[in-house]
């Protein structure tokens, strides 16, 4: 007992320590790049705030994907469920205020999840086919419902409903002001940390906090409870789970419903926090990005958080300041070179050389140009996220029975 506890605590210690080091080094590098390239926007509180807002809907969708795929159901219907969520958030917020609105977003997303669950779990439809159908249905249903309902509302039209009340924002008075003062000094390291703190303590939406909390809750439920263990067993080996008395259908249903609800909340965030209203097509493929972040995040909460944050950060950075994308090149180059050094230390010579070559190329690009062509800047979030996550997670392992159809009694 005591030995096990001791062992666990060292693992926890080691993990938190390495995360701490990585975090500290990361901030240091970003700060260094900020000073070298003289782009204060790189870690300005405004950028961080925009990054958080851009991250949240992707993160919610990615979490939704995590729940479904951990139970063995591929959910590419996230986009459709998200679209349903935007409509649900708008409708319920208009009538009952923002918190009911978020529940409404979750409810509509859940309906999308239910459709997916019925098709894939009960009827064994190919997960991709069903997911595509959910995306079409979600977009069609939201357009139809908006045209049918919103034109009569105040601030509404056939394609939009504006002026929705947002969930409350939180500011921690003393901390926020202090952090603001420090970040304005543009000191090395300290100011960068201060702007992150400032963004987290100034006018941050409670819904953002909720979504970040949901990552932790999901991680705990899926990896620290027997319910989570059973759910994951349905994604790894449903036949084995069945022989142990797990009701696989039930667990898959629960997982896909939660998945839809989370995607719906992501849609709700778009309608309530990222902007102040519903408009058709406002998800703009964020559900797919969430799915990609989840896959590159190796079907793990920490990984998908990193993916969503990278995407959100780079996307808001290129929207706010196209010049800063050029500074991002240096950041990527340094990151790659450091990664190469780390690999060299571990005697992985071949891998180290490849990464170092990539790093040198990006560095050359940075040094030889003054700006990145506009056509490339839109790609920044995609390219960077791919770089970071492809390097970070060399060995992706999806749940063993992910996407496979399961029939009760197939264990024989």
Partner 1 sequence: MRRLTKLSAVAAVAALALAGCGGSDSKGGGGDKPAAGDDVCKTADGDGPKIGLAYDVGGRGDRSFNDSAYAGLEKAVGEFDATCIEGEATDGEAESAREDRLRNMAENGATAIVGVGFAYSESVNAVAPDFPEVNFAVIDGFDPDDQANENVAYLGFAEQEGSFLVGVAAAEKSKSGTIGFVGGVNNELIQKFEAGYTAGAKAAKPDIKVEVAYIQESDLKGFGDPAGGKAAAAGEFDKGADVVYHAAGGSGSGVFDAAVEAGEGNWAIGVDSDQYLTATAEQKPFILTSMLKRVDVATYDFAKSVDAGKPLTSFVTYDLKQDGVGYSTANKTAIDGLTTTIDDYKAKIIAGDIKVPTKP
From 36, 136, 168, 390, residue interacting with partner 1 (rule: CB under 8 A): 136
**Residue 61 is a binding residue for partner 1 (CB under 8 A):** no
Structure tokens at 411: 């264990």
Q: State the alpha helices, DSSP H only, in 39-77.
A: 45-70
Residues binding partner 1: number (CB under 8 A) = 56
> Do 271 and 89 form a contact (C-beta atoms < 8 A)?
yes
Which region, judged by CB under 8 A, interacts with partner 1, from 132-140, 170-178, 180-188, 242-250? 132-140
> Do 53 and 64 form a contact (C-beta atoms < 8 A)?
no
From 27, 32, 157, 363, residue interacting with partner 1 (rule: CB under 8 A): 157
**Residue 54 is a binding residue for partner 1 (CB under 8 A):** yes
Q: Contact letters (x/-) for partner 1, 259-278, by CB under 8 A?
A: -----------x---xxxx-
Residue the block writes with tokens 């005697």: 347
Cα separation values, 355 from 110, 344, 375, Å: 42, 10, 25
**Residue 28 is a binding residue for partner 1 (CB under 8 A):** no
Q: Which residues in the 196-255 window bind partner 1 by CB under 8 A?
A: none
SS3 assignment, position 197 = helix
From 30, 63, 137, 340, residue interacting with partner 1 (rule: CB under 8 A): 137
Q: DSSP letter for 167, please.
A: P
Residue the block writes with tokens 């084995």: 240
> Do 411 and 242 form a contact (C-beta atoms < 8 A)?
yes
**Residue 38 is a binding residue for partner 1 (CB under 8 A):** no
Provide the residue count of the chain.
Answer: 412
Q: Contact letters (x/-) for partner 1, 361-390, by CB under 8 A?
A: -------------xx-xx------------
**Residue 50 is a binding residue for partner 1 (CB under 8 A):** yes
What is d(CA 47, CA 28) in angstroms, rounded to the nearest whole number? 17
Using alpha carbons, select from 136, 145, 127, 33 the residue that is nearest to residue 88. Answer: 145
Applying CB under 8 A, the residues found at the interface with partner 1 are 41, 44, 46-47, 49-50, 53-54, 57, 119, 123-126, 129-130, 133, 136-137, 139-141, 143-144, 147-148, 151-152, 155, 157-160, 162-163, 270, 274-277, 279-282, 284-285, 315-316, 319-322, 374-375, 377-378
């Amino acid at each position: 007992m005591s030995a096990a506890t001791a062992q666990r605590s060292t693992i926890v210690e080691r993990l938190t320590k390495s995360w701490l080091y990585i975090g500290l080094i990361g901030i240091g590098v970003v700060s260094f790049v900020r000073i070298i390239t003289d782009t204060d926007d790189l870690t300005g509180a405004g950028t961080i705030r925009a990054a958080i807002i851009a991250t949240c809907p992707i993160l919610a969708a990615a979490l939704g994907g995590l729940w479904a795929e951990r139970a063995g159901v591929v959910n590419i219907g996230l986009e459709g469920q998200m679209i349903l969520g935007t409509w649900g958030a708008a409708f319920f917020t208009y009538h009952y205020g923002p918190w009911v609105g978020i529940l409404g977003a979750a409810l509509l997303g859940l309906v999308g999840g239910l459709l997916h669950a019925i098709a894939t779990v009960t009827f064994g439809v190919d997960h991709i086919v069903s997911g595509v159908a959910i995306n079409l249905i979600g977009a069609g249903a939201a357009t139809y419902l908006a045209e049918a309902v919103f034109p009569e509302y105040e601030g509404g039209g056939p394609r939009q409903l504006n002026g929705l009340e947002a969930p409350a924002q939180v500011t921690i008075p003393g901390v926020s002001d202090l952090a603001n003062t420090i970040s304005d000094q543009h000191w090395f390291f300290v100011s960068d940390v201060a702007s992150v703190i400032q963004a987290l303590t100034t006018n941050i939406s409670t819904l953002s906090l909720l979504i970040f909390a949901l990552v932790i809750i999901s991680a705990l439920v899926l990896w620290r409870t027997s319910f989570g263990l059973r759910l994951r067993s349905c994604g790894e080996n449903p036949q084995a789970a069945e022989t142990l008395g797990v009701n696989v259908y039930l667990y898959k249903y629960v997982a896909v419903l939660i998945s839809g609800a989370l995607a719906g909340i992501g849609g709700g965030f778009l309608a309530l926090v990222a902007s102040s209203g519903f408009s058709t097509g406002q998800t703009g493929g964020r559900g797919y990005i969430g799915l990609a972040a989840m896959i590159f995040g190796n079907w793990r909460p920490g990984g998908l958080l990193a993916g969503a944050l990278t995407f959100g950060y780079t996307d808001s950075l290129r929207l706010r300041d196209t010049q800063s994308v050029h500074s991002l090149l240096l950041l990527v180059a340094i990151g790659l070179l450091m990664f190469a050094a780390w690999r060299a230390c571990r005697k992985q010579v071949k891998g180290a050389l490849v990464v170092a070559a990539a790093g040198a190329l990006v560095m050359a690009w940075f040094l030889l140009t003054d700006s990145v062509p506009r056509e490339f800047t839109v790609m920044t979030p995609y390219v960077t996220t791919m770089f970071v996550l492809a390097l970070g997670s060399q060995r992706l392992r999806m749940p063993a029975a992910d996407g496979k159809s399961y029939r009760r009694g197939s264990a024989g």
